Amino acid sequence: MRCFDLNTEKTYAQFLDEQDDLKSFRDEFYIPGETIYFDGNSLGLLSKQAEESLEILLNSWKRHAIDGWTEGVEPWFYLSEKLGKMTAPLVGANTEEVIVTGSTTTNLHQLVSTFYKPHGKKTKILADELNFPSDIYALKSQLKIKGYDPSEHLVQVQSQDGNTLKTDDIIKAMTDDVALIMLPGVLYRSGQILDMQTLTKEAHRRGIVIGFDLCHSIGSIPHHLSEWGVDFAFWCNYKHLNGGPGSVAGLYVNKKYFGNEPGLAGWFSSSKEKQFDMSHTLTQAWDAGAYQIGTPHVLSAAPLLGSLKVFQEAGIDRVRKKSLHLTKYMMELIESELSDYHFTIANPKDDATRGGHIFLEHEEAARICKALKADKVIPDFRTPNGIRLAPVALYNTFEEVWETVMILKTIMKEERYKKYENKRGVIA
């Protein structure tokens, strides 16, 4: 057996890469320039298969024009359903419970419109104070539409440390006046995985509908939504799933709700067989397709055909196993090499609750991120003092993790970050 000094030898990282059974997938992706790309939890990289599937759909428009809806290699009329079928294993759902449609926030509006049914004293929506702002904007909007004051009817569970949530604190907030719960599967800053199974069980014990935002969990951790009995979920496809900027999003609705009227009906809510009858009475789809609203964005969905094939080949369990190994290795290096520079590892350290990225806090975070980019490491800054580093299992390596920590050590030792302003750019 080969022996290494874990925290200092580059050869150990290279050894880990030699043992990596997912290493061949790196060649499937376009790595920008000579960079170390650790921002795949914001925007995943383009794969060759995604590029090919986009070209196929573009060519079907070129060759078939309007007949592309029913002809060609991938008929557009059934594209959302096919992508839903390909996505279902990643969220642990039945095929018919998943549809690829809309955008993250549009789908949230659809689902809250459908499942938020205030009655009697049950009028409140329960969320959390660490969620992504867009979700909170949507929830407040939905409350206003129903005639409720968000300051009174939106309850946000507080964090005890500013980065994570306690399961018990969430359960305690499930009071008799809560009608609906909406929480993230993984917190976008700290990467904490919430206990979706327990939270669903406790919500249902109290007669409360519960759904999850899976934007930072889909493609990075396995899910079992149907087994857990989750009522609804939604997500974007451009982070870990590598669907491309502005890629069409997805949603899940538990099959026990099939036949219920969608909150926001539209052209593609219709049953496929009835859609072109042009009746003013909606005959809705019998499955998750009922929660579509408008015409599919074919060219924005096209790359997903290829990117989801990559996940079919790799398998989410293998992705998760490597992801945990990458992030654990990075934490060990940080603790060993950066202990003199006042970094705080603010993500959970245990495997069970750690998502797909590392979250560092430092008072000079914005400047440090700029210095990293100058050294061709692509991080993600989160105001006011957060640095997210996402070593993605499909295309990042252990050697890149080692190199990044060593670059960061040099930046701090030589105070290179002081060349930059300590504030974010227009996009962070």
What pLDDT is attached to residue 421? 85
Q: Is the pLDDT of residue 1 over 50?
A: no
What pLDDT band is residue 393 in, cutting at 50, 70 and 90? Answer: very high
**CA distance linking residue 74 with residue 416, whole number of Å:** 51
Average pLDDT over residues 179-199: 98
What pLDDT band is residue 425 in, cutting at 50, 70 and 90? Answer: confident
Give ∠ CA 295-301-303 in degrees, rounded to 5.
Answer: 160
What pLDDT is attached to residue 422? 79
Q: Which helix (H) or strand (E) holds 250?
A: strand 250-253
Question: For 330-385, how does the pLDDT look when each residue is reduced to its tens digit (9 = 90+)?
Answer: 999 999 999 999 999 999 999 999 999 999 999 999 999 999 999 999 999 999 99
What CATH class has 10-30+315-412? alpha beta
Question: For 20-47, how does the pLDDT look when each residue is reduced to its tens digit (9 = 90+)?
Answer: 999 999 999 999 999 999 999 999 999 9
**CA distance linking residue 208 with residue 173, whole number of Å:** 12
Q: What is the DSSP string of 110-166?
A: HHHHHH---BTTB-EEEEETTS-HHHHHHHHHHHHHTT--HHHHEEEEPPSSSS---
**Amino acid letter for position 143:** L
118-144 burial, b for 16+ CB within 10 Å, e for fewer?
Answer: beeebbbbbbbebbbeebbebbbebbe
**341 annotated ligand-binding residue:** no
Strands 124-128 and 154-157: parallel
Q: Is the pLDDT of residue 399 over 90?
A: yes
**224 annotated ligand-binding residue:** no
Average pLDDT over residues 291-317: 97
What pLDDT is attached to residue 170? 98
For 2-16, 186-200, 267-281, which range has the lowest pLDDT when averaged over its residues?
2-16
Handedness of CA 76, 82, 86, 87 (dihedral sign): positive
What pLDDT is attached to residue 428? 64
Question: What is the percentage of the chain residues whose pLDDT exceeds 70?
Answer: 97
Average pLDDT over residues 185-213: 98
The model carries a pTM of: 0.96
Average pLDDT over residues 261-282: 94
**135 annotated ligand-binding residue:** yes
**344 annotated ligand-binding residue:** no
Name the burial class of residue 78, with classes exposed (0-12), middle (13-18) and buried (19+) by CB atoms within 10 angstroms of its CB: middle
**CA distance linking residue 285 with residue 71, whole number of Å:** 22
What pLDDT band is residue 412 in, cutting at 50, 70 and 90? Answer: very high
**104 annotated ligand-binding residue:** yes
- Give the SS3 label for residue 427: coil
What pLDDT is attached to residue 7? 52
Average pLDDT over residues 290-305: 97
Q: Is the pLDDT of residue 418 over 50?
A: yes
Handedness of CA 288, 290, 292, 297 (dihedral sign): positive
- Alpha carbon dihedral 282, 284, 290, 294, in 10-degree steps, equals -30
**87 annotated ligand-binding residue:** no
Closest C-alpha among 143, 121, 109, 113 to residue 206:
121
**327 annotated ligand-binding residue:** no
Q: What is the DSSP string of 358-416?
A: EEEE-TTHHHHHHHHHHTTEE-EEETTTEEEEB--TTT--HHHHHHHHHHHHHHHHTTG
**CA distance linking residue 298 with residue 54, whole number of Å:** 9
Residue tagged 């507080």 (tokens) = 158
Going from N- to C-terminal start, the domains of the chain cover 10-30+315-412, 51-313
**8 annotated ligand-binding residue:** no
Question: Is the separation of the CB atoms in 139 and 111 below 8 Å?
Answer: no
The mean pLDDT of the chain is 96
**CA distance linking residue 171 with residue 167, whole number of Å:** 6
Question: Is the separation of the CB atoms in 376 and 34 below 8 Å?
Answer: yes
Q: Is the pLDDT of residue 218 over 80?
A: yes
Q: Is the pLDDT of residue 426 over 70?
A: no
The domain made up of 51-313 has a fold known as Aspartate Aminotransferase; domain 2 (3.40.640)
Question: For 78-107, how does the pLDDT look when each residue is reduced to its tens digit (9 = 90+)?
Answer: 999 999 999 999 999 999 999 999 999 999
What pLDDT is attached to residue 85? 98
**CA distance linking residue 119 with residue 347, whole number of Å:** 38
- Give the SS3 label for residue 284: strand
Closest C-alpha among 223, 237, 257 to residue 100:
237
**286 annotated ligand-binding residue:** no
CA terminus-to-terminus distance, the chain: 44
- Give the SS3 label for residue 109: helix
